[in-house]
Chain A
Amino acid sequence: MDALVGTYPEAVVILDPSLEREFEERLADSSALAFRVALGVLRNRDDAEDVAQEAFLRAYQSFARLRDRERFRAWLARITWRLALDRIRSTRRREARETVVMMEDLNSPQRTVEDVRASREFEQRLARALDALPEKLRVVLVLSAIEGHDVSEVSRLLDVAEGTVKSRLFHARKKLAEMLR
């Protein structure tokens, strides 16, 4: 009973103080990862933050077996991805997502109207092309963008071989280029 002080049915868990501290550390250093994974799927900040919080809530309930940092980050990325996909399926907020992208473009400094228009159009096409990709390729692209194209980090997050990540990245970028050319 070192991991759990009390366990209730329906996975309502209260962690002991040492685990609480560890969870606080994970929360601090992995919240950006969860938020960005959700943002890569939802492209809406409010939804992304809500989904990331939900992912941490679930991580808290299973934290006794997720103490290892790498394991925790991989699990968190996967659960956030699934929750974000569920959110998209339940509430189709495509219109809101596109509006947010447009507003962020207009707020960017030192850009002409033509630049913003071209950039916005390209981003919308990119978002549609990304949504059209198979899920395996899409998640590799998003995680690669989040992790700065660090293949080893993506392979750890997805728990697949680096060669697999490279292959999927290759095919994903090729497909995107064909759709956007």
Chain B
Amino acid sequence: MICERFKTRLKDFALGADDAEFRAHVDDCAACRAALDAERALLASIDRGLAQMVEGEPSGDFAAHVRRRIEQQAATPRPWFAGWVPVTAAALALTALVAFWMIRRTGGVPDQAKEKAPPVNISKPPREPQMAGKTPPVSPPSNTGSVQKHRPPREPQMAATPSRPPALTNRPPREPQMAANREPEVLVSRGQLAAVMQMYNSVWNGKADGSSLIAQAAPVEDALKPLVRDELKISPLVIERLSEEGQSNSSPEKR
């Protein structure tokens, strides 16, 4: 029966641990000495078993086999895509890098901003001009010539452009341009504009009766009648012969 207090130290001592106290004890204790011998025998068996496990030499033609395998590998044709693998990988990595850089540079559109952006209806122009109430409605050009120049209304270009949050762009707000695009652009003289504005405000505020203004200008029935024009008569073109001095005897053209 080995001494209990040296039970663990015996195993470590057998493995080579330096323990002077246990060495002195083993000299006097036969049981511990026997246990130590058994432990050393077990360790010796382990070492011997391990040595047998790795004992051996490679075959005589080992080097020749290695040579043959080296030659076989050198002669093996590579697959056609083997050289493209690193190139493709590099190209993909570069593409991803450029895409990332561009997203970072433009700032991107955050999801929240996308959600808050109003829906854009490309097919429908805006229903109400933004400047309504500030700018009088412009009547179509008449034969009186009060409107000097009339341009056809532009297409509402901005309506087709998706709106962006102002914080994400450095551009100035486009409200004036939007208004210009939504209204037919008419150029009138300043006096005419003031007169039309005054009339509009009067009608709008109830100070003047718009229908009476129209009635004074012309009867409603006449206004509703289709425009009738006299048939345009064109006389044939007559060109008289020129005299030798280069002057015609009468008027140059007669229609």
Contact = CB atoms under 8 A, between A and B. Distances in A.
A180 B45 CA distance: 10
Contacts of B232: none
Given A145-B54, A146-B54, A177 B42 contact: yes
A73 interface: no
Interface residues of A, number: 44
A35 B63 CA distance: 12
Given A39-B53, A149-B47, A180-B42, A14 B74 contact: yes
A177 B69 CA distance: 42
Q: How large is the interface on B (under 10, 10 to 19, 20 to 34, 35 or more residues)?
A: 20 to 34
Contacts of B49: 122-123, 126
B54 A39 contact: yes
Given A173-B43, A174-B15, A176-B46, A123 B53 contact: yes
Contacts of B52: 123
Interface string A121-164: 01100110010000000000110111001000000000000000
Interface string B14-25: 011100000000
Interface string B227-251: 0000000000000000000000000
Interface string B63-82: 10110011001101010001
A53 B53 contact: no
A177 B62 contact: no
Nearest to A40: B54
Interface stretch (A25-33, A64-72, A88-96, A109-117): A25-33
A120 to B, nearest CB: 11
Given A12-B73, A142-B54, A177 B63 contact: no
B56 A39 contact: yes
B56 A53 contact: no
A64 B52 CA distance: 35
Contact of A141 (B17, B45, B50, B59): B50
Interface string B35-57: 00001001101110111111111
Given A53-B62, A57-B66, A173-B15, A35 B42 contact: no
Contact of B58 (A49, A60, A141): A49
Contacts of A14: 74
A54 B62 CA distance: 11
Interface of B: 11-12, 15-17, 39, 42-43, 45-47, 49-59, 62-63, 65-66, 69-70, 73-74, 76, 78, 82-83
Given A174-B11, A177-B42, 7 more contacts: A36-B55, A49-B59, A53-B62, A142-B50, A170-B15, A173-B15, A177-B15
Interface of A: 8-10, 12, 14, 24, 27-28, 31-32, 34-37, 39-40, 43, 45, 48-49, 52-54, 56-57, 60, 122-123, 126-127, 130, 141-142, 144-146, 149, 170, 173-174, 176-177, 180-181
21 contacts: A36-B55, A36-B56, A39-B53, A40-B53, A49-B65, A53-B62, A53-B66, A53-B69, A57-B69, A57-B73, A123-B52, A142-B50, A142-B54, A145-B50, A149-B47, A170-B15, A173-B43, A173-B47, A174-B15, A177-B15, A180-B45
